[in-house]
Structure 1
Amino acid sequence: MCIAAWIWQSHPVYKLLLVFNRDELLDRPTKPVGWWGEGCNKILGGRDVQGGGTWLGCTKDGRLAFLTNVLEPDVMAGAKTRGELPVRFLQSKKSPEEFAKEVAKEADDYNGFNLILADLCANIMVYVSNRPKGEEAASIQLVSPGLHVLSNAKLDSPWHKAQRLRKSFRELLWKHGDEEIPPEDIVEKLMRDTTKATKDMLPNTGCNADWELNLSSIFVDIDTKEGHYGTRSTDALSVNSNGNVNFYEKYIDSGVWKDLTVEYHIMKM
């Protein structure tokens, strides 16, 4: 299902500091963070081998996109893969607003999604979602400076896991003040939280209550009839005012947790 939290244009050190848990079947073929694509359209991010897309990616010209699914009881068979949306934006030359409007017109081709699109050089970040269905007027919005959390409902919806992550993120930022925070600390202190909601705190999504309960923690770990499902990678991405990017990922590979870091500089900043 995935969950992300980030502080945007509101920190003395970071232009953007983003953390992201990807939840998926553990045996779904996946490549860890790396550069892929051709020429000037190369993308830095993990890759879903089965669908060909990504959940989080960025480029050297300052484009960034990430995606979460919407938790809902019914999914559409034959829908387009949602992971293609970040890839399309990162490979395009359209502004976040232009691309969001394009996606909104195609909303019915996809199962429920939340999509963040950013141009870090232009200081623009946009949120677009295709849920609730038909809510076109509310489907696109500029993301304001500050701390935000996105789980499997609307941006900043007060779900249990989102509230816990917001609180712990704010506390971590306050503790470090104007110091940089090691990405390993960000991952361990924010994104490994297995605390579930109580049943009276669960959202009313129409899904099975036990499924909602198992997904109500920041870090997810579930045995299902389809296989083991849960948090299989965590990303911590930071961008400072000079355009230096640090992309850290902790991921599971054949039952073993590994980590890697890729650094680059945004060309236009």
Structure 2
Amino acid sequence: MCLIALSYQQQKGFPLVLLANRDELHQRETSRLAFWPDAPEILGGKDLEAGGSWLAINRNGRFAVLTNLRRPGQTKGPRSRGLIIKDYLTSNLSTEAFVEQLSNDRALYSGFNIVLGDFSTDCQLWYLSSETTPRELAPGNYAISNEVLGDNWPKTEKLKQGMVESLSQELNEKALMALLENRQQAEKSQLPNTGVGEEMEQLLSPIFIANGIYGTRCSTYLAINHKGFLRMREHSWDVQQQLSDNRSVEFLINAEDDSFLCSDALQNNLDCCSID
């Protein structure tokens, strides 16, 4: 996952609204949005090479989203960063205790940003990176890419501003998802210098990265309302940057049964996101 924008306790009736693009090598094997067969309490996409995720939530309202820090030449950590999300969603530790433990174990992972929280009772979000101390996020609008929170790039500012403007009118899922398809590259004068060279900086500068080797693999919308009702939509993109899958899942956090909706998947004759 390489780009996140979230509105935290800013939208009336919705403690969390999130937009995210996952950028990855097209050849890396991935499963699409679904409840995991080996951990049916978890909903999200799954990295089939390492077993983790970039964005997932569990039935009890624990949520996490992750991006990599762009650090050319960094030593690869012994554990996949995506496993942090799986660990959190299956942990019995409180969120604060998990964050403290993760802070102590940061050396196990290559550079990362993570936002995680628990929406089962109180709304609470934490931010941690491999280079910064943990902090609880205050209500606000945030955007993160492949640099630490607060170090803004053109695409983080563009997505955050677009999200704020869209939410100032009403919660419009279609309009918000459209923001994630912006393929306009940044001006050369605005490019960050992360050590990958100007040509690569420009290639990676759009909100949506259109490239046949490494690019945007999926776009995700997540909204949680004040009653604990959750809606998650995922658009998957093929190597030609064409929409290859469109599915959504809805469920109630802490529900006593397995009631949920997957109407878009059914309508498009796709496999419904079922709970085993």
Normalised by the length of structure 2, the TM-score is 0.86
CA–CA distance in structure 1, aligned partners of residues 157 and 175 of structure 2: 20
Equivalent residue letter for 2:181: R
Matches within 5 A, 1:194-213: 194-213=183-202
The Cα RMSD (Å) is 1.9
- Give the secondary structure class of the aligned counterpart of 1:35: strand
Correspondence for 2:26: 26
CA–CA distance in structure 1, aligned partners of residues 189 and 71 of structure 2: 18
Equivalent residue letter for 2:107: D
Matched, 1:139 2:139: no
- Give the secondary structure class of the aligned counterpart of 1:71: coil
CA–CA distance in structure 1, aligned partners of residues 233 and 150 of structure 2: 24
Question: What per-residue deviation string (whole Å, max 9, x for no partner) do you get for residues 41-86 of structure 1?
Answer: 6200000111111000001111000100001111324631111001
Correspondence for 2:175: 185
Choose from 229, 246, 251 the match for 2:236: 251
CA–CA distance in structure 2, aligned partners of residues 140 and 124 of structure 1: 13
Q: CA deviation at 1:38?
A: 5.1
CA–CA distance in structure 2, aligned partners of residues 238 and 86 of structure 1: 18
CA–CA distance in structure 1, aligned partners of residues 79 and 33 of structure 2: 23
Q: CA deviation at 1:195?
A: 1.6
Correspondence for 1:167: 161
Matched, 1:263 2:263: no
Tell me which moved more, 68-77 or 113-122.
68-77
Matched, 1:42 2:10: no
CA–CA distance in structure 2, aligned partners of residues 94 and 211 of structure 1: 40
Gaps of 5+ in 2: 256-276
CA–CA distance in structure 1, aligned partners of residues 106 and 207 of structure 2: 27
Tell me which moved more, 253-262 or 118-127.
253-262
Question: What per-residue deviation string (whole Å, max 9, x for no partner) do you get for residues 202-240 of structure 1?
Answer: 2222222221211111101224xxxx1100100100000
Matched, 1:242 2:227: yes
Gaps of 5+ in 1: 132-137
CA–CA distance in structure 2, aligned partners of residues 242 and 124 of structure 1: 15
In the alignment, is the contact (CA less than 8 A) between 2:26 and 2:215 conserved in 1? yes
CA–CA distance in structure 2, aligned partners of residues 244 and 88 of structure 1: 23
- Give the secondary structure class of the aligned counterpart of 2:195: coil
- Give the secondary structure class of the aligned counterpart of 2:168: helix
Normalised by the length of structure 1, the TM-score is 0.88
Equivalent residue letter for 2:33: V
Tell me which moved more, 28-37 or 44-53.
28-37
CA–CA distance in structure 1, aligned partners of residues 71 and 239 of structure 2: 30
- Give the secondary structure class of the aligned counterpart of 1:262: strand
Correspondence for 1:123: 123
Report sequence identity in percent.
Answer: 32
Q: Any runs of at least 4 consecutive aligned residues in structure 1 with deviations exceeding 3 A, and if so which?
A: 253-256
Tell me which moved more, 192-201 or 20-29.
192-201
